[in-house]
Structure 1
Amino acid sequence: MNVTAFALGLAVAAAVALAVLLTAFAVGVRTGRHRGVDVAWGLAFTAVALSGYALSDGYGDTGRRLLATVLVAVWGLRLSAHIWWRARGEPEDPRYARMLSRAPAGPSRTRYALRKVYLLQAALVWFVSLPVLAAQYVPDPPAALARAGTALWAVGLFFEAVGDRQLARFKADPANRGRIMDRGLWRWTRHPNYFGDACVWWGLFLLAADTPAGWAFVLSPVLMTWLLAFGSGKPMLERRMGAQRPGWAEYAARTSGFVPLPPRRHPKTPTAPPARPHP
């Protein structure tokens, strides 16, 4: 790997991620809704991968460069299109409304949104993309680990795309209003899309991991998995679902929280604590 060329690629990738998220910020300020940042998330990863592909020409293996770029672009564009379609015409996302309510209205809230939402996500896009950028500068053709990574990426995309489609069809049926989605992939895991996302990024990491230098970027998929399973993904969504959906506790008791597993036949349902006697 040419270290000087790779360092330049990292700097350009940071600028590209920042440019995409700042554009999303400008749109959010103009419309008064910041949920569009979720659409920009997948677009930013795609833009970073494309910049890496262009700059790594002459330094990395052509097949590996193209493979890494196409896998990121397919994932990112599908995700952005899905989120855009799902959110069209909807009000502000409750997550961002709650977050921004912590700051005073006016310019202070706008600056708070810039720091806590857009700049933070730009930094995350850059950091999580490090294995992809590294893979684009590897001069050797893809080997066994890269092929395994492509297969893992495909598994992840399947869980994301199929899970999203199943949920969309479920929610489109008025008879399911207020009910818990517990069919298809959602019968095996409460979060097939988050599990799929984790598989995608571990698969992309493996594109760089068949070289010793690639292992330096293992914290990128670790961070993405932590965010999905323990950070801003699963915990926040489950708190909201537990407060809004009757039957959530029973569903959670019988269904795996992340990794797909057969439903539990005899789940331990949570019981309410005994009432305290009045003095």
Structure 2
Amino acid sequence: MTPRVAGLADSRPSRKRIFLTRPRVLVGGILIAIWLCGALLADILAPYPPLEPHYSHRLAPPDAQFLLGTDELGRDLFSRILYGSRISLTVGVVAEGIAASIGLCVGMLAGWFGGWIDDLLMRVAEVFFAIPALMFLIVWVTILESTPLLIFVGLGLISWAGLSRVMRAQVLALKSMEFVIAARSIGVSQWGIMYRHILPNAISPVLVLIPLGIGGAILSESILSFLGLGITIPYPSWGSLVDTSRNYFTTAWWYAVFPGAAISLAVLGFSLLSEGLINP
């Protein structure tokens, strides 16, 4: 790394300072930490197994025994939301990981090689930009299947294009800098330059967008589950809880409100974190 680039790196604020001086980052980080703890410690925090019915307490309102009430089979809603956080957060992280991997590779190749490779890859990105995300996901899971892997891939495919543009812009700005020219002059291969010099210096703007993408993936999966097209496994996602609550909204308001609040708070947390990093 050249002195110029090293100086830029040294001038970046520390992680502690970022959290203390940026309220949105702090609030977003707290919300995310709460849900991560809930997902990781669900076996400890959940008062009941998520699939255990209590038929004598069906659609019971929130009380001391059932903190957030119960569903139509008497299952504890608080426990189901905790276990559902594992599914919803996994969907967001894995789907955005797929999107980031595709976006980084496409943006790197387009920005570095330019020419017809750049034109081709950016035209493909524009095609994915033009496709309505929800319509694509509905067709995707209808033609294929609502398995976790296919939903992860579908969510990743609708999210990579924006990341590729950001990465491409960074590569275009960096590839004419002195440290890249110096690496070329001593015989470093193109792939070596991209991996060792371009990627570490270009990835930061992409990373700050990833939390926003995770929140978007959680929301998209929740919409699919609400439409009956989401992940179908024994433990519920937040979207599937909202879906099954539709028939009981007038008689059991808590059944829809609390899972919906979980979705909103998780998406809000990731959005605040990303926006706080982008706009101090």
Q: Name which structure has the greater RCO, CA cutoff 8 Å, separation 6+.
A: 2
TM over 0.5: no
What's the TM-score bracket when you normalise by the shorter of the two chains? 0.3 to 0.5
**What's the TM-score once normalised by structure 1's chain length?**
0.33
**What's the TM-score once normalised by structure 2's chain length?**
0.33
From the CA coordinates, give the structure whose radius of gyration is larger.
Answer: 2
